[in-house]
Structure 1
Amino acid sequence: MSTEKQWEEAKSLYPLGAEVQATVKVKFPFGVFLELPGAPEVTGFLDIASYNPTTGPDPASLPDAGSPVDVVVSFHNERDKQIRVRVGPAAHHIANKETRDRA
């Protein structure tokens, strides 16, 4: 668990929209927990709905523990002191594009 100071420093280091290469610490069916460089005491989290790679691996298969992953910071979860990230476009952008394409 991070201290308030560590959390504030991590938010400054990783503002919304920042691109970073993180490392997968633990993989679960619902997402992966990440280590963020320069802020090992703050957890990064990539949930399955936010994993939408446009190239490379199968989007249904989250990266394994130990794998590097290029992510974009999408949310600072104040309650859990967690940096939420995504890969590829945000899910709502994908849904909106699919709706426009059908119209």
Structure 2
Amino acid sequence: MIDDTTWRIAKENFPIGIRVCGAVKEKRPFGFFLDIPEAPGTVAVVDAISYLPHGSPVPPEEWPAPGDSIEAKVVAHAEHNRQIKLRVEPRESSAQE
């Protein structure tokens, strides 16, 4: 678990609602961990039910592989285990149709 100072700084630098980019570090049955370069030592996790690249959850075999870069939104700060909780959602199109 990270120390008090690192956790405080992580919450300040990554407030709820901000989008972050990182690389998948490790896949687990419940989701996967993301390595955020600007937050060394901070644990960031995308739970299985929060990986919604097409608007609904996808099976683990469709999750990104370790090393893949993704963008996610900070949705919570889990105080009990000092993790940044992330969600991946479909990107809004900026093009006018």
TM-score under structure 1 normalisation? Answer: 0.78
For residues 59 and 40 of structure 1, the distance between their equivalents in structure 2, rounded to whole angstroms, comes to: 28
Higher CA-based Rg = 1
In structure 1, what is the equivalent of residue 58 of structure 2? 59
Which contiguous aligned blocks of 4+ residues in structure 1 show a shift greater than 4 angstroms?
Answer: none
SS in 2 for 1:44: strand
**Aligned-partner Cα distance in 2 for 1:2–1:38:** 15
Q: Return 5+ residue gaps in structure 1 as ranges.
A: 90-103
Give the Å deviation of 1:54: 2.6
In the other structure, the counterpart of 1:43 is 43
When normalised by structure 2's length, the TM-score is 0.82
Question: Equivalent residue for 1:12?
Answer: 12
Question: What RMSD in Å do the two structures reach over aligned CA positions?
Answer: 1.7
Secondary structure, aligned partner of 1:34: strand
Report which of the two has the higher share of helix: 1
Shift of 1:53: 0.5
Aligned pairs, how many?
87
Unaligned runs of 5+ in 2: 91-97
Residue type matched to 2:3 in 1? Answer: T
